[in-house]
Structure 1
């Protein structure tokens, strides 16, 4: 019986909840998430816990912020002036923009607007959250050489280069 290990294309259905048991994300019915195991396609804390499972296995996995989307970094929450945003953009809390950070492009999210001061957060929306996955392994196959070379899955619904 095949098990999940590096170089396998794994298909999982999952529900992701936070500590308050609110559903943050889930796979669509009959549309499992496919990823290439060992290529950092999914967060490390989840990938590590799936290692060795086989088709049909189900597991509940708790992932700490450090092994998920990182701890909350307060330095990434800051005030910007309205004139720094596109003049024609109607700004709303929750909107996301791409900005150039010190280490390259980053996504920032508006968390507050007060007059001309816009508070933005460059943390991943799930940073600082403990994540709870309820996962079931739906299928498993060997990755193609092309998938291994590219480090991600190809096929229906996936882009080709």
Structure 2
């Protein structure tokens, strides 16, 4: 039976959890995730985890932050004066907002609200976190 290798299109069912067991994503109840191995369509650790599997194989992989969404970067936490918030936009911790630097639009999360400034975190929500995936290779296309 063939093993999944770089360049193969694969279909995978998965459940992703954090160290505390919290499920952050899953294909349960949906179609399997389809992607081509080795092309950067998924995080590196997920790609490596599927490589070498055969259809029907199940595997659990633990992916360090460096092979997932990277470490959280302090320079991606922005201090924005409250006076720069548009009228009617109330910053609340955990709220997602869209920002633009003139060329790119990106999502930030309100991390802290102070009297005069709001801290906006532009890191990916899973940055700095080790991820665990339970993988099942459905097929190789």
- 1:84 shift after superposition: 2.7
Tell me if structure 1 keeps the 8 A contact 2:43–2:69: yes
What is the alpha-carbon distance in structure 2 between the residues aligned to residue 64 and residue 101 of structure 1?
30
> Is 1:70 matched with 2:70?
yes
The 1:79/1:63 distance shift into structure 2, 3 A limit, reads same
Q: Alignment partner of 1:71: what SS?
A: coil
What is the alpha-carbon distance in structure 2 between the residues aligned to residue 138 and residue 115 of structure 1?
52
Aligned length: 141
2:111 aligned partner = 111
Map Cα deviations across residues 29-70 of structure 1 (whole Å, 9 max, x no partner): 242111121111110011012112111011110111111000
> Is 1:2 matched with 2:2?
yes
**TM-score (structure 1 length as normaliser):** 0.78
**TM-score (structure 2 length as normaliser):** 0.87
Q: Alignment partner of 1:13: what SS?
A: strand
Structure 1 unaligned spans of 5+: 142-161
Mean CA deviation greater in 20-29 or 96-105: 96-105
1:132 aligned partner = 132
What is the alpha-carbon distance in structure 2 between the residues aligned to residue 22 and residue 95 of structure 1?
20
What is the alpha-carbon distance in structure 2 between the residues aligned to residue 106 and residue 3 of structure 1?
38
1:47 aligned partner = 47
Map residues 144-159 of structure 1 onto 2, 5 A cutoff: none
Cα RMSD (Å) of the superposition? 2.0
What is the alpha-carbon distance in structure 2 between the residues aligned to residue 104 and residue 39 of structure 1?
23
